Structure 1
């Protein structure tokens, strides 16, 4: 009897070991399945704040300088304008006499020759505040400087590093800047990405539009004309140097109220202020079509929100030219054609 008991014990131990091994395999398979199901999704590529475009491999969207906004003259006297081809985004605003000035935004690229650099307006507070930008300017009227300072907007003017007078041009259209030197002055050792300037999306996010291959933004004494050609919007009366034009993927027209800024220019013209807060109508031109909608900004420093009756309106990632056109009654108008 003792012999048969000793024989049975090892057999039982072998069976138990096989059972436990099988359970271990099941547990391992279960753990492996859990690990697979819980694997983190791949990270979305980092995008540039002023275009919504993904950064290339090795590029960082966090820079040790803020968004730089250069105020550039937009008249025949400014030709040829330099630097617009490397801007991320451009805002065209009304100034005195029904003419316009450009606020050119630079962040992903910082060119060495930008200009002609001209003065700030109170309108710039609502234009640059949403991304905590620094303004590059020739100066401003004291009343405007006081308001810019109260809004805590940094700015660099003539006499700052990078500014120079270009030979062969006459004042005040000969002031230019090496923007890389201005950027170096703003560095504080902290890399940070600004907020998105517009609600970025894709073409698939757009509602159905209506054909619009040409458009004209009339500011009173200046009209900016656009045509959709080769997948881009071409400024047909640009003052930019050949090969240095802004390549717009979209044109965003925002209708704004215009008020008297409270002073006149040397010629006696009242200085207008575009009220870039509150709400108004919007037209997004993209892909040869236009989508009608509205814009809103709770306050001057708020981000721009866009919508249609169907919901939020997102701008396809790319380079955008923003037209701040006065509403009807302020000598502004917009026309488009097929």
Structure 2
């Protein structure tokens, strides 16, 4: 049973602009049993919810703010992306025109410059709701704003404290956020978020098969290439700044159905929406091998559950604790290409 989640919501109309001041991000004090939120164990407070890794020292994995998710551009126009090295977890999703955007999750540490920040999509509801995250975005289409509001998702548009334009870059690829400032807007006692995935030990991971390299194909125009190294997985066509790449120990590929969000972008391209409910094939990559399985998600605010096997032999697939990149690869028009 997952711990009870405290979902932070905000009543907004149209776009949401919040105000506040800057500040740092200090670790929590060690919790006593009386301080633990209902349904949350002391053992859970000793691991980070977005990585499953142990908390260092005598701190706990309970901040005085929610998880923050930054929507980031993922095209060559965004290069170099900043801040990914401090992310706990990243989800890559299809957007219009066959390109992708990133939802970068920050909880353990907050960078003072992350981006380029771009707009939200309806797909983001199912991505952020399981941990009650607040979203940092440049904005969204009115249809998306209405759905985010209806879902109770807190978000920060351009103009919120912490956001600024880098005049050395071209718009719209020059909006960045100082998360240490934005976080002040949602400070207050909150329960530890749910674990984003079922975390476990690499020793318990099924053997799977060798997979030294693989490619997540989102469309004819975009493929994300991965290669296994002794230190984890390297994204060979990343747009991240040198030395600021995401430190992926795991890559989780979920094959998802993609529908039409019901509107077009300014260029007339239909906006896709990935369906993050139901079930589909999954592939977990760790330490140069791939384990195949099935993902399921009962509702947009429910966690992703992973299993291996079938029928009576079906077992929960736990993701080794560590930094994980999740690829939402379309069932139709997408592909997963695996090398030995």
Q: Name the TM-score class by shorter chain.
A: 0.7 to 0.9
Q: Which residue number corresponds to residue 100 of structure 2?
A: 100
Q: Check whether the contact 1:45–1:54 (CA below 8 A) recurs between aligned residues.
A: no
> Structure 2: which 5+ residue stretches go unaligned?
1-41
Q: What is the Cα deviation at residue 258 of structure 1?
A: 0.2
Higher helix share: 1
Q: Which residue number corresponds to residue 65 of structure 1?
A: 65
Q: Which residue number corresponds to residue 178 of structure 1?
A: 178
Deviations 1:208-235 (A, max 9, x none): 2100010100111110000001231000
Q: 1:313 aligns with which of 312, 317, 330?
A: 317
Distance 1:219 1:110 in 2: 29
Deviations 1:55-74 (A, max 9, x none): 00033211011000000000
Q: Check whether the contact 2:138–2:157 (CA below 8 A) recurs between aligned residues.
A: yes
Q: What is the Cα deviation at residue 52 of structure 1?
A: 0.1
Q: Which residue number corresponds to residue 79 of structure 2?
A: 79
Q: Which residue number corresponds to residue 259 of structure 2?
A: 259
The aligned runs of 1:1-338 (5 Å cut-off) are: 46-188=46-188, 190-220=189-219, 221-309=221-309, 310-327=314-331, 330-338=332-340
Deviations 1:31-70 (A, max 9, x none): xxxxxxxxxxx96871000000000003321101100000
Distance 1:75 1:197 in 2: 26
Q: Which residue number corresponds to residue 3 of structure 1?
A: none
Deviations 1:280-322 (A, max 9, x none): 0000000100000000000110011000014000000000000
Q: Check whether the contact 2:82–2:116 (CA below 8 A) recurs between aligned residues.
A: yes
**Helix, strand or coil for the counterpart of 1:219?**
strand
Q: Check whether the contact 2:47–2:60 (CA below 8 A) recurs between aligned residues.
A: no
Q: Check whether the contact 2:81–2:241 (CA below 8 A) recurs between aligned residues.
A: yes
Q: Check whether the contact 1:113–1:176 (CA below 8 A) recurs between aligned residues.
A: yes
**Helix, strand or coil for the counterpart of 2:164?**
strand
Larger radius of gyration, structure 1 or 2? 1
Distance 2:45 2:64 in 1: 20
Q: TM-score, normalised by structure 1?
A: 0.85
Instruction: Please give the root-mean-square deviation of Cα atoms over the aligned residues, in Å.
Output: 1.2
Deviations 1:246-275 (A, max 9, x none): 010010000000000000001111000000
Length, aligned pairs only: 294
Q: Check whether the contact 2:96–2:270 (CA below 8 A) recurs between aligned residues.
A: yes
Deviations 1:68-100 (A, max 9, x none): 000000000000000000000000000001100
Distance 1:49 1:210 in 2: 28
Distance 1:197 1:68 in 2: 13
Distance 1:178 1:198 in 2: 27
> Structure 1: which 5+ residue stretches go unaligned?
1-41
Q: What is the Cα deviation at residue 205 of structure 1?
A: 1.7
**Helix, strand or coil for the counterpart of 2:257?**
strand
